[in-house]
Amino acid sequence: MPKRNYETNLRERARELRRQGLTYTEISETLGVEIPKSTLNHWVSDVLLTDEQLKRIKEKEQEGAARGREGGLWGGAAGFNKEMKRRRIEAAREQAQPIIERLADNKDALMLMASALYMGEGAKGEKHFSFANSNPKYIAAWVSLLRSNFEIDESKFRCRILISDNQNAETLEIFWSGVTGVPRSQFQKAGVREASGQKKEGYMGVCVVDYYSSEIRRLLDAIGEGVIDELLNEE
């Protein structure tokens, strides 16, 4: 087996935790890294512990052995990996939060976001542009971006839903009307296709939001293409 490389300061952090009287399992949990007990033993074998710490470690190891008979800490290796993934996601969210707050308060950033969504998931017609998604959160965000950053005429919105033949069009129109804030009178006839495969729970079909404005469509195109050109010109 190839030798695993760890962060340069991980050994010292593990030794410091051992000095505090933590078990090998607690050290791995605190560091958020799955480290073999043989490796930890090598790292901390010369760390002196008090009688009280030794007693606590022995008790914790006995508890751990009992948990092991029931599936282990976090439910075994799979549970450990799941917990570490959760921690990485949480750390990323904490890192992103100040960036999110700055961007959400910047109109230029929000207009760029609208342009990026349109360029990635949208479509253009002769006199309108569209955005489609099955995630209500993304649809709600899209119409919010349009309303808060552009001069919008509500009468120029049109929506249509794409559903399977085992779904109820009226129920889903009511749902998507609530998400978009577009009246059902501005919904076009639903597109229905034969159900194929198993949809995830809570699937509400796809909502297509059309907005009739060549002016805003051209602005979205110009923002996205312009930023891309600037980035490429800087290289």
Q: What pLDDT is recorded for position 181?
A: 96
Residue 179 near residue 207 (C-beta atoms within 8 A): yes
Q: What pLDDT is recorded for position 194?
A: 79
Q: How far apart are CA 210 and CA 197, in angstroms?
A: 28
Residue 210 near residue 128 (C-beta atoms within 8 A): yes
Q: What pLDDT is recorded for position 85?
A: 82
Q: How far apart are CA 204 and CA 182, in angstroms?
A: 17
Give the pLDDT confidence of 196-207 residue by residue, as tens digits: 766 677 889 999
Q: How far apart are CA 60 and CA 62, in angstroms?
A: 5
Q: What pLDDT is recorded for position 186?
A: 95
Token pair listed for 138: 């993304």
Closest C-alpha among 118, 112, 142, 131 to residue 230: 112
Token pair listed for 23: 């078990």
Residue ranges for the chain with pLDDT beneath 50 = 1-2, 70
Residue 210 near residue 130 (C-beta atoms within 8 A): yes
Q: What pLDDT is recorded for position 1?
A: 41
Cα torsion 199, 131, 170, 193 to 10°: value is -50
Interior angle at CA 68, CA 66 and CA 69, nearest 5:
70
pTM: 0.63
Q: What pLDDT is recorded for position 166?
A: 86
Q: What is the largest CA-CA distance in the chain?
A: 80
